Structure formats: structure tokens, C-alpha cells
Amino acid sequence: MTAELARGQNQAVPWTRLEIAVAADGALVLGALLVGEGETALGGTEAVALPGTPPLPGLAPPGPPAPEHRLAVDLAALPGAATRVELFLALPAGPGAPARFGALAAPRVLLMGPGGEATARFEVTGLTEQTAVVAVELYRRNGAWKIRAVGQGHQGGLPALFADRGIAPEAAHRLAATLGPRPAVPAPAPPREAPAAPGPATPPPPAQPGAPDPAPSAGPVDYTHPRRGRPAAPAGDRPHPAPGPSAPAPPAGGPAAPVAGDASGWSMEERLHNQVWGMFEDLARAVAAYRGAVEFAEDRREREVDAVLDDPRARTGQGAADARAMASERYETLVARAQEALDRDLAQLTAESRVVEPALPRALAGWDSPVWHAYRPPAQPPFALRLGELRLPEAPELRIPMLVRLPLERGLWVDAGRLQDGDGESRSAGLRALAAESAAQHTARLLAVHPPGALTVHLLDPAGSGAAAFAGLRGAGLLAPPAPAGAAGVDEVLERLTRRVDLVQMAVRGGARDALPPGLDTAEQLLVVHDFPHGFDDRAVTRLRYLADEGPAVGVHLLLVADREDAAAYGPLLDPLWRGLLRITPLPDGHLADPWVQHVWTYEPALVPAGSGVLAAVISAAARARRGSA
């Protein structure tokens, strides 16, 4: 999987031979710079690779200006004194060439292995008047190589970039002059009241210090997610409701006021769903940029202190103390800048959350939302469902709703086993009752957001240990008739659902959807298995795996309440089931990872507040509606 890097984030490089691919909408110059200790070019101008310059060890000669580049790098062949390789981009000279990066779409940088496999991607966003930019850097840390997304632009172009790396100004200008004269850079345009939303291919640019000397801020950060642009006018006669409530207008020149429903989609529910996912990705990338910037600052401080200790003449005395103090001061400055940028991002996301949360419809809202009052069953199935909330340690008060699309593409595994608390010690294993209650509330929400009769719920509880948690649903008649006790009931229900999957699959593949047997329940099916694997033999486990794999495509979904340790006796047989289901917990626990930067998020289930009667009222209303539709 290709990781999408945010500015300041880094990733390990698993090869010594690799390629850096660059793609842009117009011709660019690609170059490289070898950097040694002290953050300076290794040998002055001899450390710079540009089109037409002598080749450097470990680096293929860069090609002429072009929209696409591939630069081969052999890390093992680099000079031993090289601690970093900076890959930079510059605008070519000549008539018709753009005068600044802000006139182009964001360049894309891809890290590729020797076989052409891509492992990391970075879009250099947030550029305005700059004419040269350090896009990424390959750096050595503790004997291993990593890649870092930098995105540090220079309004002074290549001469300013080279001068920052210790090359004398005269030599820097002579080297840059080999590319020809630069067109004049126009004066910056006056700031807009609100930043424009980027196009679909442009990720949100988290403004983070990710390089030794960050360039001045180019203006307010655009927090709009690439898939959360202003919705276009609807086509044809599709409904397109007006945006939801907005926050008060910000001061002139500040970031745009957040608006509920400010995302793409053909219904308000879909737009809110996409907006919440955009907030989730924005928070993930903002925290990734912060963590990457802090790691960069730590790495820089270590290199500076090591440089002092490596020189026996400078290890002691006031000079050494001053050098350490300067390294610590630079570290604190970089961390403070990173924290300032993160605080700005979190403030904007918090303001957006305050607007979006009250506008969420029932299926996406928490149980404490007023939208559950005076509940009436819907006429159509929802677009998505809320399972809980997600948060990160850098922003414990900012909770992002965890939403899943419906119908469920993956089943759910409610973990009834031992969780880990913040001190790393196992809590009591008495979570089974909480897991059962959590599963019952998830089931009640699924029933409540579907039209009456559109979802049939089968409960398999061979030992009867979940009877109390599901008593309300059972008493209201919202569950299918109970199966016989023990293994016989397990076999009967699994046989019935497996047969349904097979019949619907054959009808769909044969184009004969109307040829289903009379009496077949065509509603969506949810199989809830409590206290798994009690009552399951190998044949039943195999059928359950079949339902988990094949069922979602034909309307059969799975919710398991299980302890992984209890199921360990089945060995590899359950591994595909464990990996294929979405694992959630009855108590807050950090175990969910996002697909972009692999943060470990703390998940909190969507549970009814203590003492609230909303769940009983919803179950009662859903039961009345089902009886009325029967």
C-alpha cells in the first residue's frame, strides 16, 4: 500500500536502490543536493546535481526540464560523509514558463522500489510565490535510511536554496545561472477572505515546519479536504439541499467559517458523511505533520550535539556549553512552531465539529443527540451508521464520529476479551456483559435506522449468556424467532443463511432476480453471534467464515461478540475471520489504525448515556411500526 505523506512526516526506506518519480502539470527542473554534517552542502557546488552538471556518486544525472522525471538513487554508493540527499524542484527558464509555483497544480513525488513498486507519495501543496522547493529528503538515522516530506519553498529560487546550504552567494548564483534567466516574479496578490478549496487531486496542506529553516507562512491554511470542496450544482432533477447551520462569520482575513454539509454529495446525509470523513483525514494528517516535525527537531538536535561531541577539542568548555544551548534553543523553536501550527489546525477542526455534530441525522448522531427525541422510523435505509467516536492523544477533547457505510461491507467483532489500559496492565476480564450490551445497542441502532421490516436480525446465543442484554429487543419482537438451544440451533440458523446466500448469488449471476423461491426473506439480514465460539464446531466455523466473506454482497451481515483468546483453539482457521471483521470494543481502547499514516486511534463506542430512556423509547416505537407494517 502506498502511504500518503503529510509535510514533516517520514517513512523508512526498505531498499538501497530506489527511484524518485516526479509528476507535474508543466515542465519542472529536478535536482539533488548532498548534505553533510552541519547542514551544509558536501563540497559546495560539487554536491549539486542539475541537468548538465557532472554526475554525483549514487545519483543518476537529472534529465532536462520536463513534466515527469525519474531519478535513480543508490544509497549504498553515496559518499560516506553524506547524511542527507535533498531532492528539489525548480521552475525552468524561458518565455512562457510559469513565474511561480502557485500558478501550477501541486507537483507529485513518488518513492519507488527497484521493481517499480510505490511505497510513499507526497503532494507538494501550499506553494504560492516560490520558484524553488525542497520536495523530499532522504536522510540517514541510526544507520537506516528514511524519506521525509519537506515541501520547503524559496521565493529567492535556487540561489536562496543553495545559499541556505552553505554555498557562497556568488557560486550559488553561477550554478543557478546554468538554467538560464528566470522570468520576473509578479507581486503577491492581495489575500482573499477565505482560501479556495483545492481540486480533487490536492490533499489538505498541513502547514508544518518540516525543514531546518522553514519559509515564512504563505497565508492561512486551507482546511478543506480534497473531497470536501464546495458542492457543484446538481445535475438533472437530483435533490441538493441547502447547507446546514454555520458558525458565526470569522474576522476579516481569517479562515472560512465552517458550514455543516460543506462537502460533495447528492444528499445532505451523504455530504455530512463525507465531511466527517474529511475531518478525520485532516486530523490524521495534522497530527502526522506535528509528530514528524517534532521528530525532525529531535533528529537535528541530536546531530548538532553529536557534532560537538565528535570533536575532542570542543567537548568541554564554554564553547561546548554554548553549542548545546544553541541546539536546544533551535529544537524548542521548531517544536514551538510545530505546536503553534497544530493548535491552529485543531482550533479550526474543533470549530467545524461544533457545527457538524448538531446537524447529523439520526443514523450518524450520538444517542445523546436531540434528533432521537420523538423518534419515527425512516422510510429509506440510511447512507451510513455511527459506531462511536475516535480521538488522538494530541487532541483528547476533539472526537471525530466513526462512521461506516451501509450496507456493511465488513462485519463487526465486538471484543469481549481483556483490554489494555493506559498503564499497560490488563483490566479485569469481566467485559462480557459490557460487550453484550454494546452489541445490543449497535443492533438496536441498526434496526432503528432501517424502515420497518427492512432488516431481519438473527441472534445466536447458544449458552444464553446474552439474554439480559438482548431482552428488550427480544421482548419487542424485533428479533427473528429464537433458534433451538445449543449446537442444533447454531446449525439451523447457519444452514438457513448459507442457503439464502447461495440462492441470491445464483439469481444475481443468472440475471433471474425474480426467480427466488416464494417465502424467501428478501430483507437485509444481520446475524448476531454472542459468546462465540461457544456452540460452534469446525463445520459451523467454516460456514460462519463463508457468511463473512460472501454474505455482505447479497445482504447478509455479521456481528460477533467474542474473545480472541477463547477462540485461539481454532488456530489459523479463525485468522481470516479475525482480519476480515472490523474489531470494536465496549470500552475506550486504542487499537484502530487509519490507512494513511497508521495512527493508533482510541475508539469509544456509541453507547446510550447512563439513566437515559431514549433507547427504550426508540425500541418501542420501532416495534409499533413493525407491527403496523406486518
What is the chain's mean pLDDT, rounded?
Answer: 81
Answer yes or no: do 350 and 432 share one domain. no
Look up the domain containing 129 and give its range: 1-186
Task: List pLDDT tens digits, range 402-430.
Answer: 999 998 988 999 988 765 444 444 444 46
Q: Which residues of 261-295 are buried (b: 16+ CB within 10 A; e: fewer)?
A: bbbbbebbbbbbbbbbbbbbbbbbbbbbbbbbbbb
**What's the mean pLDDT in 541-547?**
91
**What's the mean pLDDT in 38-55?**
83
Rounded CA-CA distance 135/22 in Å is: 10
Beta-carbon contacts of 38 under 8 Å, excluding residues fewer than 6 positions away, are 166, 307
73 in any annotated domain: yes
Least confident of 32-41, 208-217, 433-442, 471-480: 208-217
Three-state DSSP state, 3: strand
Q: Which residues of 419-452 are buried (b: 16+ CB within 10 A; e: fewer)?
A: beeeeeeeeeeebbebbbbbbbbbbbbbbbbbeb
Residue 537: pLDDT band by 50, 70, 90 thresholds?
confident
Contact of 262 with 574, CB cutoff 8 Å: no
Asked if residue 475 has pLDDT above 90, the reply is: yes
Domain boundary among 186, 211, 235: 186
Q: Which of 148, 152, 154 is nearest to 6 (CA)?
A: 148
Task: List pLDDT tens digits, range 360-412.
Answer: 999 999 999 999 988 999 999 999 999 999 999 999 999 999 999 998 988 99
Task: List pLDDT tens digits, range 277-301.
Answer: 989 988 988 898 898 888 888 888 8
Answer yes or no: do 160 and 227 share one domain. no
594 in any annotated domain: no
Answer yes or no: do 5 and 123 share one domain. yes
**What's the mean pLDDT in 571-580?**
77
Answer yes or no: do 86 and 154 share one domain. yes
Q: Which of 555, 533, 431, 528 is nearest to 474 (CA)?
A: 528
Rounded CA-CA distance 89/127 in Å is: 12
Answer yes or no: do 272 and 323 share one domain. yes
Domain boundary among 135, 169, 186: 186
Contact of 24 with 33, CB cutoff 8 Å: no
Q: What is the CA radius of gyration of the chain?
A: 29
* pLDDT-above-70 percentage for the chain: 83
Residue 313: pLDDT band by 50, 70, 90 thresholds?
low
177 in any annotated domain: yes
Asked if residue 223 has pLDDT above 60, the reply is: no
Answer yes or no: do 172 and 232 share one domain. no
Would you state the pLDDT for residue 547? 94
Task: List pLDDT tens digits, range 434-473.
Answer: 999 999 999 999 999 999 999 999 999 988 888 999 999 9
Answer yes or no: do 132 and 266 share one domain. no
Answer yes or no: do 345 and 469 share one domain. no
Q: Which of 163, 380, 397 is nearest to 269 (CA)?
A: 380
Asked if residue 239 has pLDDT above 50, the reply is: no
Domain count, the chain: 3
Q: Which of 241, 301, 293, 308 is nearest to 268 (CA)?
A: 241
Answer yes or no: do 240 and 156 share one domain. no
Asked if residue 516 has pLDDT above 80, the reply is: no
**What's the mean pLDDT in 227-243?**
37
**What's the mean pLDDT in 175-185?**
58
Q: Which of 454, 413, 404 is nearest to 545 (CA)?
A: 413
377 in any annotated domain: no
Strand 132-141 to 144-154 pairing: antiparallel
For residues 230 and 544, the model is more confident at 544
Answer yes or no: do 451 and 578 share one domain. yes
What distance, in Å, lies between the first and last C-alpha atoms of the chain? Answer: 48
403 in any annotated domain: no
Three-state DSSP state, 400: strand
Rounded CA-CA distance 551/557 in Å is: 6
| CATH number of the domain that residue 433 is part of | 3.40.50.300
DSSP element (H, E) containing 614 = helix 614-629
Asked if residue 209 has pLDDT above 50, the reply is: no
Rounded CA-CA distance 139/149 in Å is: 11
Answer yes or no: do 286 and 151 share one domain. no
Domain boundary among 360, 376, 397: 360
Residue indicated by cell numbers 519537506 = 150
Least confident of 6-15, 195-204, 341-350, 536-545: 195-204
Residue 199: pLDDT band by 50, 70, 90 thresholds?
very low
The grid cell for 291 is 509528530
495 in any annotated domain: yes
Answer yes or no: do 40 and 136 share one domain. yes
Least confident of 146-150, 343-347, 591-595: 591-595
Would you state the pLDDT for residue 46? 84
Rounded CA-CA distance 565/587 in Å is: 18
Residue 303: pLDDT band by 50, 70, 90 thresholds?
confident
The grid cell for 523 is 430483507
613 in any annotated domain: no
Least confident of 224-228, 455-459, 512-516: 224-228
pTM: 0.63
Would you state the pLDDT for residue 244? 42
510 in any annotated domain: yes
Least confident of 175-189, 350-364, 550-564: 175-189
Q: Which of 197-201, 223-227, 261-265, 413-417 has the highest mean pLDDT?
A: 413-417
Would you state the pLDDT for residue 355? 94
Would you state the pLDDT for residue 356? 95
The greatest distance separating any two alpha carbons of the chain, rounded to the nearest whole angstrom, comes to: 92
| CATH number of the domain that residue 119 is part of | 2.60.60.30
